[in-house]
């Protein structure tokens, strides 16, 4: 179970009345490098595979210069470290998780996001999971596309090769196996939100 002392319990927001709790598959409990045990969760029950030579992160939509970035392109960009407690909406937390990656504002600046863009759509390679951030949130400097966890490359179970990290939100907003970021004119309903969770996933202690 890892270092139990690193776990803390919050009071997570309940799903909307009349909407059943999301159903996915808890794959296993494993050690979180540099932290404690954490449950790996996939809404499809499987982990997408990826090929280093072929994988691309696409940044498109309402931008002047769409991007298609390989893992080496992302690793060559300025890296930003974010260290924060990780909070799951189901009520458990892991203290002091260290992520390293490229800030979303850096990617948007490179792509030339247009004024008409009001939100970002984040798409997972699992083919099922999408979520949205409003532009104000997405432009916060500690919102990153993480490539490393505790200075080690992300494992497949943790979202390799890239995942979204929003440290001040519950973990369900952190899209794993990220393959596309699309600038759009408005936010829509994400995967968990369609199943009853609040679109505002901000952690309130």
Q: What is the pLDDT of residues 35-91, one digit of tens each?
A: 444 445 555 456 778 888 999 999 999 999 999 999 999 999 999 999 999 988 777
In the chain, the percentage of residues whose pLDDT exceeds 70 is 77
- The confidence score (pLDDT) of residue 46 equals 63
Question: Tens of pLDDT along 105-115?
Answer: 999 999 999 99
Task: Output phi, psi for 41, to 5 deg.
Answer: -130, 130
- The confidence score (pLDDT) of residue 19 equals 33
Domain chopping of the chain, boundaries: 49-83+96-195
> Do you find a cis peptide bond into 21, omega within 30 degrees of 0?
no
Q: What's the CATH number of domain 49-83+96-195, 1.10.357.10, 3.90.420.10, 3.40.630.10, 3.80.10.10? A: 3.90.420.10
Residue 120 burial class via C-beta count within 10 angstroms: exposed 0-12, middle 13-18, buried 19 and up? buried
Residue 140 DSSP code: S
What's the mean pLDDT in 131-155? 96
How many whole angstroms separate alpha carbon 105 and alpha carbon 118?
14
How many whole angstroms separate alpha carbon 117 and alpha carbon 41?
31
């Amino acid at each position: 179970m890892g270092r139990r002392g690193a776990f803390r319990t919050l009071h997570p927001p309940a799903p909307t009345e009349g909407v059943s709790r999301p159903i996915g598959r808890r794959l296993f409990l494993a050690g979180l490098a540099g932290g404690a045990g954490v449950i790996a969760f996939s809404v499809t029950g499987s982990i997408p595979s990826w090929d280093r030579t072929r994988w691309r992160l696409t940044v498109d939509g309402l931008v002047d210069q769409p991007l298609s970035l390989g893992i080496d392109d992302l690793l060559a960009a300025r890296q930003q470290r974010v260290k924060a407690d990780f909070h799951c909406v189901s009520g458990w937390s892991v203290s002091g998780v260290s992520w390293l990656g490229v800030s979303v504002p850096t990617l948007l600046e490179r792509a030339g996001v247009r004024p008409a863009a009001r939100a970002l759509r984040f798409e997972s390679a699992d083919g099922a999971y999408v979520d949205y951030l409003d532009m104000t949130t997405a432009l916060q400097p500690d919102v990153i596309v993480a490539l490393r966890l505790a200075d080690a490359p992300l494992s497949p179970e943790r979202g390799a090769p890239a995942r979204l990290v929003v440290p001040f939100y519950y973990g369900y907003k952190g899209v794993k196996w990220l393959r596309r970021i699309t600038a759009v004119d408005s936010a829509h309903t994400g995967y968990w939100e369609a199943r009853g969770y609040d679109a505002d996933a901000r952690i309130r202690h």
